[in-house]
């Protein structure tokens, strides 16, 4: 029986009670232990851009503890051993996490947060809906370690000449008996420098791919396979390194049973992961915007200028109001979209348009809220102590992965022109 909205909200609240306790008791002490290192990226990263061993081991420890506590794979489907929480619970939990802890700790994607996604897995690093399409043999071989947080994966879709244009993939996979031989390069792949396995998307039928009618397949490749290399770390805005890297594949051989789904289903499988990521980003950005507004409200009630508190200045009041408008709109959009995703098995309607709306609006709204928070705090807003500048960089960065702001708008427009005018 499908859970009601109220039941899902209760489930999310109960989960958050335990999750907050886990983070405060198990994770925050680790952050305190590494405080000096985390404050200076010159100490945090090795010369090759990888995390120093002590911090990498701490991340592994957090993943394993979170998995044991039942949090790490709680969004993964039950069919692969995950918690199977619905999308609505997913966004409610992520929103609450980022409202409480803010940027720099938990954020998904291109971030140098200490925890990264060690507490909660997603399609870019751990168990997710994308792995429901692996064979039973591979499932029994690989899934236990991934579910336990002992090993991670990465999502190898983007290439130097194929980002928003998925059909521009140049990585090729050629069948050779019971194996496939893969050649190509992947770029801006989150978790690539650390992953034990990679979901690699490659063209298996050039004619179909050229017509945008398929021809792309996905393979689960071991990072230790001969010809596979992921030793290039890519720095991102404001940081000396990141969790992103490049993958090169030089005659990498993969057995046919490592194909995800059927031949030619790679585009659909990839979009399944990306859609999941878009909604998670929307939930996280909504929470981070709430965190910024909470800090701003505290500050304007205390800080005085020209004989009165900032809260009495109309210009400041307008900024607070505009931030509240952005947050409310983003939150309602994201929650409703999550409900539509949960209803899809019954309605048969995949909310493609709404997922793009939620991702684009939440990210851009978060960026606006953080910009106002910086302005409200003046010089303190620019300091690293307040974390607003870090949140602003994260929000700006997230306008690109899982579909750029422009791709979201193109998707929305195409759905409208196809007759999807339901709101």
CATH number at residue 380: 1.20.140.10
User: Which residue do the tokens 């069919």 mark?
Assistant: 79
Looking at the fold, whether 277 and 327 belong to one and the same domain comes out as: yes
pLDDT at 120: 93
Are 272 and 380 within one domain? yes
- The 3 state secondary structure assigned to 38-62 is HCCHHHHECCCCCECHHHHHHHHHH
Q: Is residue 422 part of a domain?
A: no
What's CA 189's distance to the chain center, in Å? Answer: 12
Same domain, residue pair 214 and 161: yes
What is the structure's pLDDT at 105?
54
Choose the final residue of a domain: 216, 233, 266.
Answer: 266
pLDDT at 117: 63
* 169 shares its domain with 53: no
Residues 6+ apart with CB under 8 A from 384: 390
pLDDT at 109: 39
**Per DSSP, what are the bridge partners of residue 200?**
156, 219
- If asked whether residues 251 and 358 sit together in one domain, one would say no
Are 222 and 181 in contact by the 8 Å Cβ rule? The answer is no
Task: Indicate whether 258 and 277 sit together in one domain.
Answer: no
pLDDT, position 111: 42
Q: How far apart are CA 372 and CA 344, in angstroms?
A: 37
Coil/strand/helix, residue 65: helix
Residue 222 lies in domain: 153-266
Element spanning 96, H or E = helix 87-101
Give the per-residue pLDDT at 115.
54
pLDDT at 1: 52
In a domain, 338, yes or no: yes
Shared domain for 76 and 86, answered yes or no, is yes
Mark whether 252 and 287 lie in a shared domain: no
Joined together, the tokens standing for residue 230 give 């992921």
In a domain, 45, yes or no: yes
pLDDT at 13: 97
Which residue in this structure is represented by tokens 């298996």? 204
Total structural domains within the chain: 3
Residues 225 and 349 in one domain: no
Strands of 68-195, DSSP E: 153-156, 172-176, 179-190
* Placement of tokens 């009601």 in the chain: 4
- DSSP 8-class letter at 196: S
CB atoms within 10 A of CB 189: 25
Q: In 3D, which of 237, 142, 230, 240 has the Cα closest to residue 194? A: 230
Tell me the sheet residues that pair with 249: 184, 228
Contact 295, 302 (CB under 8 A): no
pLDDT tens for each residue of the chain, 423 residues long: 578 999 999 999 999 999 999 999 998 888 888 888 888 888 989 999 999 999 999 999 999 999 999 999 999 999 999 999 999 999 999 999 999 998 865 433 334 455 556 899 999 999 999 899 999 888 999 999 999 999 999 999 999 999 888 899 999 999 999 999 999 999 999 999 999 999 999 999 999 999 999 999 999 999 999 999 999 999 988 888 889 999 999 999 999 999 999 999 999 999 999 999 999 999 999 999 999 999 999 999 999 999 999 999 999 999 999 999 999 999 999 999 999 999 999 999 999 999 999 999 999 999 999 999 999 999 999 998 888 999 999 999 999 999 999 999 999 999 999 999 988
Residue ending a domain, choose from 245, 266, 287: 266
Same domain membership, residue 272 and residue 402:
yes
> Exposure string (b/e) for 98-123, b if CB count within 10 Å is 16 or more?
bbbbbbbbbbbbbbbbbbbbbbbbbb
- Indicate the residue among 87, 118, 147 that finishes a domain: 147
| Helix residue ranges per DSSP H, 248-386 | 266-302, 314-347, 352-377, 379-382
408 and 282 share one domain: yes
Instruction: Count Cβ atoms below 10 Å from residue 57 Cβ, excluding itself.
Output: 11
Question: Which residues touch 298 (CB under 8 Å, ≥6 apart)?
Answer: none
Distance CA 62, CA 24 (A): 12
Domain co-membership, 186 together with 278: no
């Amino acid at each position: 029986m499908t859970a009601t909205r109220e039941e899902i909200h209760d489930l999310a609240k109960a989960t958050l009670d335990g999750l907050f306790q886990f983070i405060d008791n198990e994770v925050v002490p680790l952050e305190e232990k590494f405080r000096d290192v985390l404050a200076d990226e010159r100490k945090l990263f090795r010369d090759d851009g990888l995390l120093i061993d002590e911090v990498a081991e701490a991340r592994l420890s957090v993943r394993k503890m979170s998995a044991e506590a039942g949090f790490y794979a709680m969004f993964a489907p039950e069919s692969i051993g995950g918690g199977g929480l619905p999308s609505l619970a997913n966004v409610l939990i992520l929103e609450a996490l980022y409202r409480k802890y803010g940027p720099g700790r938990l954020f998904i994607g291109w971030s140098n947060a200490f925890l990264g996604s060690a507490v909660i897995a997603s399609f870019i690093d751990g168990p997710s809906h994308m792995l429901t399409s692996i064979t039973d043999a591979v499932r029994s071989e690989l899934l236990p370690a991934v579910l336990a947080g002992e090993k991670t994966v990465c999502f190898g879709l983007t290439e130097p000449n194929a980002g928003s244009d998925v059909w521009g993939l140049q990585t090729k996979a050629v069948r050779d008996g019971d194996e496939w031989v893969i050649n190509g390069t992947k770029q801006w792949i989150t978790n690539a420098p650390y992953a034990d396995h990679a979901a690699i998307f490659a063209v298996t039928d050039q004619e179909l791919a050229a017509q945008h009618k398929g021809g792309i397949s996905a393979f689960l490749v071991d990072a230790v396979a001969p010809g596979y290399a992921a030793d290039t770390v890519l720095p991102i805005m404001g940081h000396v390194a990141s969790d992103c890297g490049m993958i090169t594949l030089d005659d990498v051989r993969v057995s046919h049973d490592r194909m995800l789904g059927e031949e030619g289903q790679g585009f659909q499988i990839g979009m399944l992961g990306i859609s999941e990521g878009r909604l998670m980003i929307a939930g996280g950005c909504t929470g981070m915007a709430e965190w910024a507004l909470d800090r701003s409200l505290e500050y304007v009630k205390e800080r005085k200028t020209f004989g009165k508190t900032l809260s009495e200045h109309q210009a400041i009041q307008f900024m607070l109001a505009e931030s509240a408008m952005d947050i409310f709109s983003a939150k309602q959009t994201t929650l409703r979209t999550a409900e539509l995703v949960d209803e899809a098995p019954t309605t048969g309607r995949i909310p493609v348009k709404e997922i793009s709306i939620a991702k684009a609006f939440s990210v851009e709204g978060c960026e606006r809220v953080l910009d106002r928070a910086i302005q409200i705090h003046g010089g303190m807003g620019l300091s690293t102590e307040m974390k607003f500048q870090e949140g602003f960089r994260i929000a700006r960065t997230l306008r690109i992965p899982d579909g750029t702001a422009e791709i979201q708008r193109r998707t929305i427009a195409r759905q409208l022109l196809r007759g999807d005018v339901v709101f």
